[in-house]
């Protein structure tokens, strides 16, 4: 996996042509839904002629197909947006372009980012980079594999409950889920507005930090963005107090995963940090809370796809109700329909208090539990997932089993905290990831820690 520095100072056209070639060579992995070839080559020529420069001049990247990007459709891997072409680009894509980066294509995902394996895409599954009989993870599976196979040095994903961290760990790359509000959500198809964050995949910790710093910052078009506070490399080098979340280090996690996570923890100790076990008793409810709060927001956000304003419209219908119903039935995958049903149920007048309100109350308690830990610890550590990448088809008939692969990531999302998935060796040849979690706005601490371990290896 070449890092960003490999691409700097070379011909942008050569970079783009090589990346496009690599994308086509790996087409059996089903990574890209669309290559933005025409615009990528035009932008490369602009850079080669000296008309544009920047920190990422001529560096190719891939973008999850729920970001609005010029030169092709934005489908969110759904049929309802099959032919949707955007009149604008996402703010973070604009920021990366302003630094000279070049988008070469749109990557596959679970439709509307609903899933943990990219099997819920309306356009077929993306295969794992290391073992093509296994899933890429999800929902940002295509972006993770595009970096893991060295097609591009970085790629964009979205993370609502683990969709960057989990596929990063399944494919052995870095995955960044920044603080909620750190990067603009403008121009990205909404899943759950209170936990959606924009982040990246990269092959080194310093590349991940560079891209994060460019994506970060206030945007007038997204009122939840934080002020421009992010300073690259601003973390202190002093020994840290690190807490290991013991609730996730039990025999519910695969032994091979625990071995790798423990050896990463040992490196942290050897690097002079103090390490203790901590407990997060409400963690066991985080999945239950997530699968009430998130479907409620999903149902609200997906209500706009009605077959009228844009996107797919069913033909041969005789009433307006039939038009709505048929367009949505044909346009959404099963998992999205399941979430619309659950979401409307938990928000309905008879059940709101029992489900939605109760879940929000428990969410607040979980946030408080994290806050308490951050009074005593700088960084919390856990595995990213209980297992390594599972076989394609293994969990598709059992949504609860599928949801369990997010048990260690969803709590962090509900609390809006930054977390990085760091590659930490393999178990039976399959990559394992360690999750490093910090208090809000402290991603610099996470990058510095990950870099120090990377450097000591």
User: Contact residues for ligand GLN (CB under 6 A)?
Assistant: 113-116, 139, 158-163, 191, 294, 406
Residue for token pair 């093509």: 132
Are 23 and 105 in contact by the 8 Å Cβ rule? The answer is yes
Tell me the three state secondary structure of residue 145: helix
Tell me the three state secondary structure of residue 92: helix
Q: Which two tokens stand for residue 197?
A: 């964050």
DSSP per position, 425-442: EEETTEEEEEEEEESTT-
Select which of 78, 86, 117, 139 is catalytic: 139
Name residues whose C-beta falls within 8 Å of residue 295's C-beta, 6 or more positions apart in sequence: 339, 340, 342, 343, 346
Compare residues 139 and 146 and give the one whose CB is closer to ligand GLN: 139
Compare residues 139 and 260 and give the one whose CB is closer to ligand GLN: 139
163 classed as catalytic: yes
139 classed as catalytic: yes
Burial class (CB in 10 A: 0-12, 13-18, 19+), 411: buried
Compare residues 55 and 338 and give the one whose CB is closer to ligand GLN: 338
Residue 309 CA to residue 311 CA, distance in Å, equals: 7
Tell me the three state secondary structure of residue 161: coil
Query: At closest approach, how far in Å is the CB of 41 from ligand GLN?
Result: 31
111 classed as catalytic: no
Are 235 and 370 in contact by the 8 Å Cβ rule? The answer is no
Query: At closest approach, how far in Å is the CB of 132 from ligand GLN?
Result: 21
Are 198 and 187 in contact by the 8 Å Cβ rule? The answer is no
Compare residues 149 and 410 and give the one whose CB is closer to ligand GLN: 410
Rounded to 5°, the CA angle 403-406-409 comes to 155
Query: At closest approach, how far in Å is the CB of 370 from ligand GLN?
Result: 18
Query: At closest approach, how far in Å is the CB of 163 from ligand GLN?
Result: 3
Query: At closest approach, how far in Å is the CB of 161 from ligand GLN?
Result: 3
User: Quick one: which of 77, 2, 4, 1 has its CA closest to 34?
Assistant: 77
Compare residues 166 and 206 and give the one whose CB is closer to ligand GLN: 166
Residue nearest to ligand GLN (CB): 163
User: Quick one: which of 46, 169, 78 has its CA closest to 434?
Assistant: 169
Are 260 and 424 in contact by the 8 Å Cβ rule? The answer is yes
Rounded to whole angstroms, what are the CA distances from 127 to 117, 157, 161?
9, 17, 21
Compare residues 110 and 207 and give the one whose CB is closer to ligand GLN: 110
Query: At closest approach, how far in Å is the CB of 381 from ligand GLN?
Result: 20
Residue for token pair 């609730």: 247
Compare residues 118 and 445 and give the one whose CB is closer to ligand GLN: 118
Residue for token pair 């296994």: 134
- Separation of CA 295 from chain center: 18
Parallel, antiparallel, or unpaired: how do β-strands 174-177 and 419-427 relate? Answer: antiparallel
Compare residues 89 and 163 and give the one whose CB is closer to ligand GLN: 163
Query: At closest approach, how far in Å is the CB of 293 from ligand GLN?
Result: 11
Residue 116 CA to residue 110 CA, distance in Å, equals: 7
User: In angstroms, how far apart are the furthest CA atoms of the chain?
Assistant: 71
Query: At closest approach, how far in Å is the CB of 54 from ligand GLN?
Result: 29
Query: At closest approach, how far in Å is the CB of 112 from ligand GLN?
Result: 8
Compare residues 71 and 159 and give the one whose CB is closer to ligand GLN: 159
Select which of 116, 121, 163, 184 is catalytic: 163
Rounded to 5°, the CA angle 116-304-296 comes to 50
Which residues are the active-site residues?
64, 139, 163
């Amino acid at each position: 996996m070449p890092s960003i520095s490999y691409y700097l100072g070379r011909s942008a056209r050569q970079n783009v042509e090589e990346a496009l070639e690599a994308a086509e060579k790996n087409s059996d992995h089903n990574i890209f839904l669309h290559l933005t070839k025409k615009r990528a080559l035009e932008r490369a020529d602009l850079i080669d002629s000296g008309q544009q420069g920047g920190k990422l001049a001529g560096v190719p990247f891939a973008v999850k197909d729920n970001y609005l990007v010029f030169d092709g459709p934005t489908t969110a891997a759904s049929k309802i947006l099959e032919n949707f072409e955007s009149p604008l680009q996402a703010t973070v894509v604009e920021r990366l372009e302003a630094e000279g980066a070049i988008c070469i294509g749109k990557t596959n995902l679970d439709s509307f980012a609903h899933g943990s394996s990219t099997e819920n895409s309306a356009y077929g599954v993306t295969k794992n980079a290391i073992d093509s009989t296994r899933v890429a993870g999800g929902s940002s599976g295509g972006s993770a594999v595009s970096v893991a196979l060295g097609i591009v040095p970085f790629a964009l994903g979205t993370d609502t409950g683990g969709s960057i961290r989990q596929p990063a760990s399944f494919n052995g790359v870095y995955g960044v889920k920044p603080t909620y509000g750190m990067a603009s959500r403008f121009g990205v198809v909404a899943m759950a507005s209170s936990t959606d964050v924009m982040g990246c995949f990269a092959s080194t910790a310093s590349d991940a930090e560079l891209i994060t710093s460019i994506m970060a910052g206030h945007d007038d078009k997204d009122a939840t963005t934080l002020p421009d506070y992010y300073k690259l490399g601003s973390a202190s080098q002093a020994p840290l107090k690190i807490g290991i979340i013991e609730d996730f280090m039990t025999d519910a996690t695969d032994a091979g995963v625990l071995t790798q996570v423990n050896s990463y923890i040992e490196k942290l100790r050897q690097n002079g940090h103090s390490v203790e076990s901590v407990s997060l008793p409400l963690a066991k409810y985080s999945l239950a809370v997530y699968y009430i709060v998130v479907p409620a927001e999903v149902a609200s956000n997906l209500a706009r796809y009605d077959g009228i304003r844009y996107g797919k419209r069913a033909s041969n219908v005789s009433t307006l109700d039939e038009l709505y119903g048929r367009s949505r039935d044909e346009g959404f995958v099963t998992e999205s329909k399941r979430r619309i049903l659950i979401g409307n149920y938990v928000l309905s007048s008879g059940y709101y208090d029992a489900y939605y309100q109760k879940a929000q109350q428990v969410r607040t308690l979980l946030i408080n539990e994290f806050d308490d830990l951050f009074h005593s610890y700088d960084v919390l550590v856990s595995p990213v997932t209980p297992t390594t990448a599972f076989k394609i088809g293994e969990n598709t008939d059992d949504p609860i089993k599928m949801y369990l692969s997010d048990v260690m990531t969803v709590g962090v999302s509900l609390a809006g905290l930054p977390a990085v998935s760091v590659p930490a060796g393999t178990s039976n040849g399959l990559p394992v990831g360690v999750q490093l979690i910090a208090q809000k706005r402290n991603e610099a601490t996470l990058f510095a820690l990950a870099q120090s371990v990377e450097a000591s290896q």
